[in-house]
Structure 1
Amino acid sequence: MSKFTFNMPDVGEGVAEAEIVEWHVKPGDTVEEDQHLVDVMTDKATIDIESPVTGTVLEVSGEAGDTISVGAMLLVIEVEGEATVASGSSGEEHAEAPAPKSEAVEERIEVETSDASDADDALAADPHPEPLPAPTLAPQPRHEAKVLASPAVRQRARDLGIDLAEVKPAADGRIRHADLDQFLAYNAGGGFAPVGQSRADEEKKVIGLRKRIAQNMAASKRNIPHFSYVEEVDVTELERMRADLNANRGSKPKLTMLPLLIGAVCRLIPQYPMINARYDDEVGIVTRHGAVHMGMATQTDGGLMVPVIRDAQAKNLWQLAHEIGRLANAARDGSAKSEELSGSTLTVTSLGPLGGVATTPVINRPEVAIIGPNRIIERPMYVPDGVGGERIEKRKLMNISISCDHRVVDGYDAASFIQELKKLIETPVLLLTD
């Protein structure tokens, strides 16, 4: 028997350390070669670390949420006989197995999910949580004894703090549970009935993707002086054109508002290169990108992810719609590749059906701008009647928000960009011209 020390392998891409997301083994467990040992996260990539040997786990390093450096001890495994000596051992008494095969470290993008919701987690600890007792008001007056009611009704009234003398009885003069229900309904808001059930406090360690999101958002707000600008846009004609295109799309993917908006943005970027840029504030360099690698904020079960549409400016509306659907599904089911989740130069974020009147989105650092379409609403507006006057007409309106890094983008530039975007959206036929 000998001990094999398995150090944190080099997972490539210049990664110096990784965060432990979840252990799949513990001391005392028997493991087989190529068995899944632990998940670690670098940036937004979750890596499967697999065992290079067969043996018994003696020791593991760290717990979920801890950071471990490449080359540091990850775990110790007791193996049969003498393990083959290879580079990277730690400690003279520890023999070593060959360096892990390349296939032993399989990279995958994984959206963290739990087997149950937060509410289910609480119920797992106590499947029958007892509601807090309702507050009891002042002691019941003596004349309650004169009221006709069963012992069960009297007890319920005491629990709810109800004076039975104030409850109107049925025709026979006896108060029943239905009369208590009617009294509570009539006095809704009076504090008699509890408004909901209590549940135990719950602590959850912030790890994995949720931790990355927290770190990135904090760094963005801490380092970037944000400003936001919002403009109202009439999308009536755009929605009419979208409906016509979808009615004749054949086997093409269905168009939503998003590919139309991305197409409009890409047409304007050559005039506003400061919007499609990344700012390295450590060296003081702003890179204005020629290609638009459009980040697309996507909500998943594990949190917000930003898959990237490469060279969005080179795609037509149908190709954009296809990429949007493909990347969103890949982010949600955990199949997105590492390169599909990094390298964006500009991001668009939408709350979809949740909409909202206006948003002030947080910039996806080190980008310098993020664009957010909001909910479409119908509202009467004055429009030209064609003969020099105006008439009232129902129109579809949407606010577009943009947040910018004020170190790089001036307010005038952001406002000018959105105004040009407004003109393009309100004349949507321009999106189909060369």
Structure 2
Amino acid sequence: MGTHVIKMPDIGEGIAEVELSQWHVKVGDLVVEDQVLADVMTDKAMVDIPSPVHGKVIALGGQPGEVMAVGSVLISIEVEGAGNLKESAAPAPVKEAPVAPKVEVAVESKPAATAAPRPAAVCQGPMVAREADERPLASPAVRKHALDLGIQLRLVRGTGPAGRVLHEDLEAYLAQGQSNASAPAAAAYAQRNDEEQIQVIGMRRKIAQRMQDATQRAAHFSYVEEIDVTAIEELRAHLNEKHGASRGKLTLLPFLVRALVVALRDFPQMNARYDDEAQVITRLGAVHVGVATQSDVGLMVPVVRHAEARSLWDSAAEISRLANAARNGKASRDELSGSTITLTSLGALGGIVSTPVLNLPEVAIVGVNKIVERPMVVKGQVVIRKMMNLSSSFDHRVVDGMDAALFIQAIRGLIEQPATLFVE
């Protein structure tokens, strides 16, 4: 028998150290080639580290939350043969689960249409004894299926290779749960004294760090404006009826992207980045719109590049593609960086008002709230209109309050008179 030592791999881009986010194995476990051993976090992505060998885990090189240097010992595996104890080699990362290079508070980019509520697993099948933070082996499709079913994946027994959870395991879990549905429920008013401590590591740590950094460094101020979206919603419905089958359905987001592009022509100071260390403001001609997106691994901001050169349907297709890539953990680092202004929306869950946090080093973020029907006075008559608030935040070190108000008013004018979006 020999020992195969796996070192922390070089993720690239000059990264000298990474954070060990999560172990998927423990000492004594038998592992197979290509099985995911650990997740490590860089500034831009969560990276899975696979095993290059079959064997038994005999030592772990760090604890979750520990920052480890590239080239340091990550894990030791006992293997048949001589192993590589004298000449260690790092495995190549096989999959990225990207995280937001820039984040802001509780925002999610989804189509404005009401999202179907996520079903909850009413009853439980046979449970597996896993730690609360242990991530079971499963494909992205299985994870999405479990999320849709409301199942905690760590409770499901996997029957695939190395205990991997399969689609059939989810169905078996639900089926077993149905047979137990008649079991008496716990008392609804029973006292509880349990506590749970969750270590802030990995992606949650990155989000916390960036949130804290943004609120400490930028002088945030928010501006809220009410917008009548009746006309643009009628236009959207007309275009979807006429072209939806051939070109794809339009949500409100591509119209908002277009409104940003047009308004920024008169307000270039909003499409900028501020380097507060060098004391330099860089205004950009290209409009790279970050679209805040919620995923299984946390909040991400994929970037619609050169929105100024895209049609409605081109923007819609790109927003959809990037959102799917982010939610499935397949967005690249380039797709998650380089935004010049951010658009954030919770769709139907958008509430009345929000105060989004800036994606530093950007100086503006436009937040979209939900659409509601309300009685409004139009030309002396009370009529029902579709109304929506824009809740936007700006960096007061760079953007004056008057300019912010005029910028949002410009967007309002474009949305309320949608033909002006396309007048050159």
TM-score by length of 1: 0.73
Shift of 1:346: 0.9
Inter-partner Cα distance in structure 2 for 1:68 and 1:100 = 14
SS at match of 1:271: coil
**For 1:83-111, what per-residue CA distance to the aligned partner results, in whole angstroms no more than 9, with x for missing partners?**
56xxxxxxxxx5114x346xx32242268
Inter-partner Cα distance in structure 2 for 1:203 and 1:276 = 41
Shift of 1:364: 1.3
2:93 paired residue among 77, 93, 105: 105
For the pair 1:356 / 2:331, whether they are aligned, the reply is: no
Instruction: Name the CA shift for 1:303/1:430 in 2 (closer, same or farther; >3 Å).
Output: same
For 1:361-400, list aligned pairs within 5 A. 361-384=356-379, 390-400=380-390
Inter-partner Cα distance in structure 1 for 2:60 and 2:314 = 47
Inter-partner Cα distance in structure 1 for 2:210 and 2:298 = 12
Instruction: Name the CA shift for 1:371/1:82 in 2 (closer, same or farther; >3 Å).
Output: same
Alignment partner, residue 13 of structure 1:
13
Alignment partner, residue 240 of structure 2:
246
> Quick check: 1:82–1:95 contact (8 Å CA) kept in 2?
no
Alignment partner, residue 294 of structure 2:
299
SS at match of 1:373: strand
Instruction: Name the CA shift for 1:128/1:274 in 2 (closer, same or farther; >3 Å).
Output: farther
Inter-partner Cα distance in structure 2 for 1:397 and 1:2 = 69
Gaps spanning 5+ residues in structure 1: where? 85-93, 133-193, 385-389
Query: Taking CA–CA contacts closer than 8 Å with sequence separation of 6 or more, which of the two structures ends up with the larger relative contact order?
Result: 2
Inter-partner Cα distance in structure 2 for 1:426 and 1:375 = 16
Instruction: Name the CA shift for 1:128/1:299 in 2 (closer, same or farther; >3 Å).
Output: farther
SS at match of 1:71: coil
1:202 paired residue among 196, 200, 214: 196
**For 1:345-390, what per-residue CA distance to the aligned partner results, in whole angstroms no more than 9, with x for missing partners?**
1111111101222111111122111101212222222323xxxxx3
Give the structure with higher Rg (CA).
Answer: 1
Alignment partner, residue 173 of structure 1:
none
> Quick check: 1:22–1:39 contact (8 Å CA) kept in 2?
yes
Alignment partner, residue 39 of structure 1:
39
Instruction: Name the CA shift for 1:65/1:383 in 2 (closer, same or farther; >3 Å).
Output: same
Alignment partner, residue 330 of structure 1:
325
**For 1:287-311, what per-residue CA distance to the aligned partner results, in whole angstroms no more than 9, with x for missing partners?**
2121111111112233221111111
Aligned residue pairs: how many? Answer: 353
> Quick check: 2:98–2:333 contact (8 Å CA) kept in 1?
no
> Quick check: 1:122–1:199 contact (8 Å CA) kept in 2?
no
Inter-partner Cα distance in structure 1 for 2:301 and 2:184 = 39
For 1:85-164, list aligned pairs within 5 A. 94-97=85-88, 99-100=89-90, 104-109=92-97, 131=187
Inter-partner Cα distance in structure 1 for 2:47 and 2:347 = 31
For the pair 1:287 / 2:282, whether they are aligned, the reply is: yes
Shift of 1:16: 2.0
2:401 paired residue among 411, 416, 432: 411
Inter-partner Cα distance in structure 2 for 1:423 and 1:242 = 17
> Quick check: 2:372–2:388 contact (8 Å CA) kept in 1?
yes
Inter-partner Cα distance in structure 2 for 1:219 and 1:53 = 41
Gaps spanning 5+ residues in structure 2: where? 100-132, 137-142, 157-182
**For 1:238-260, what per-residue CA distance to the aligned partner results, in whole angstroms no more than 9, with x for missing partners?**
11111111111132121111110
Instruction: Name the CA shift for 1:54/1:264 in 2 (closer, same or farther; >3 Å).
Output: same
Q: Percent identity?
A: 51
2:207 paired residue among 213, 225, 232: 213
- RMSD value over aligned CA atoms? 3.0
Instruction: Name the CA shift for 1:357/1:31 in 2 (closer, same or farther; >3 Å).
Output: closer
Inter-partner Cα distance in structure 2 for 1:119 and 1:367 = 38
